[in-house]
């Protein structure tokens, strides 16, 4: 098993000296390539804060975060953006697709921020990930013409198109009925077989149970 990321004594505080609030306390975490991890816990327990740190959107933590053996704190902002664009794909509860662009165009977009991918391969790569999520026939459709489950599949294709090491999902089934949510969960879990690591936040015990590991947060600390 190859290590993908390690958090050591990671903490995150918000606010100024007289009004400081600790959203995450002393988090130690190791995740390997191909792991599936659910982050669960009550509202306000620090799930999204942790996901933002893992996704390289928030560097205002203390402690150490190493992604692919790189200390994230040591990167300049250009290197950080590069690492983020190449290695991390995001999936959101509300899909966050661009509604006036076609499905294909939505999936192509992240490649424009990844200089390692040749322009003349954009179309082929986008179609390959649409095939992976079963939506080749919707490539020319607009997101609003699709069901919620189909829109989330497009979002997953978009998250995969740069072949990231890590897919992060914040409540990916939160807006879907349970049957559709189960299919999306199954699709996300299938990524692990190809070595992609999936970390998701969920309130749904069924989704959490599908993951290989479950991290339970309470008041910013790992309790299980
Ligand atoms: P969860 O996703 O588990 O519901 P969050 O990670 O969003 O929780 O928030 C954890 C705690 O940190 C909450 O008490 C929240 O109010 C606080 N928090 C999150 N982001 C900020 C911020 N930008 N400024 C101040 N407090 C924040
Ligand atoms: Mg949250």
Complex ipTM value: 0.97
Nearest to 94 by CA among 17, 205, 171: 171
- Report d(CA 93, CA 47) in Å as an integer: 14
**Which of 14, 50, 200, 223 to probe ligand 1 with, by most ligand atoms within 8 A of CB?**
14
pLDDT of residue 52: 96
CA of 181 to the centre of ligand 2 (A): 18
- Cβ 151 under 6 angstroms from ligand 1: no
Which segments of the chain have a pLDDT < 50?
none
pLDDT of residue 151: 96
pLDDT of amino acid 160: 95
Q: For tokens 């013409």, name the residue.
A: 145
CATH of domain 33-57+87-222: 3.40.50.300
Q: If you take atom 5 of ligand 1, which residue's CA is the nearest one?
A: 46
8 Å CB contact between 175 and 196:
no
Q: How many C-beta atoms surround the C-beta of residue 91 within 10 A?
A: 23
Rounded distance, CA 158 to CA 164, Å? 11
Confirm if 160 and 111 have CB atoms less than 8 A apart.
Answer: no
- 45 within ligand 1 shell (Cβ under 6 A): yes
Cα of 199 to ligand 1 centre, how many Å?
Answer: 18
pLDDT at 161: 95
* Cα–ligand 2 centroid distance for 49 (angstroms): 7
What pLDDT does 224 receive?
A: 86
pLDDT at residue number 87: 96
pLDDT, position 62: 97
Structure tokens at 187: 């699709």
Q: Which atom of ligand 1 is nearest to the CA of 52?
A: 6
Separation between Cα atoms, residue 126 and residue 214, nearest integer Å = 31
Whole-number pLDDT of residue 18:
86
For the packed helices 148-160 and 122-132, what is the interaxial angle rounded to 10 degrees? 130
| Ligand 1 close to Cβ of residue 158 (< 6 A) | no
């Amino acid at each position: 098993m190859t290590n993908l990321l390690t958090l050591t004594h990671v903490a995150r505080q918000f606010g100024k000296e007289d009004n400081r609030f600790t959203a995450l306390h002393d988090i130690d975490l190791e995740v390997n390539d191909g792991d599936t991890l659910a982050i669960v816990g009550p509202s306000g327990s620090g799930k999204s804060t942790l996901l933002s740190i893992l996704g390289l959107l928030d560097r205002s933590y203390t402690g150490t975060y190493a992604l692919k053996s790189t200390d994230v704190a040591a990167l300049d902002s250009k290197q950080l953006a590069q690492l983020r664009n190449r290695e991390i794909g995001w999936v959101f509860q509300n899909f966050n697709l661009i509604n006036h662009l076609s499905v294909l165009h939505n999936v192509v977009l992240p490649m424009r921020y990844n200089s390692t991918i040749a322009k003349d391969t954009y179309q082929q790569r986008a179609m390959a990930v649409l095939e992976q999520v079963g939506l080749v026939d919707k490539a020319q459709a607009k997101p609003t013409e699709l069901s919620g489950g189909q829109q989330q599949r497009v979002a997953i294709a978009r998250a995969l198109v740069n072949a990231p090491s890590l897919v992060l999902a914040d409540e990916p089934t939160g807006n879907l009925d349970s049957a559709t949510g189960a299919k999306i969960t199954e699709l996300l879990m299938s990524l692990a077989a190809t070595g992609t690591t999936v970390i998701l936040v969920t309130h749904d015990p069924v989704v959490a149970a599908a993951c290989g590991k479950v991290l339970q947060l309470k008041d910013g600390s790992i309790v299980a």
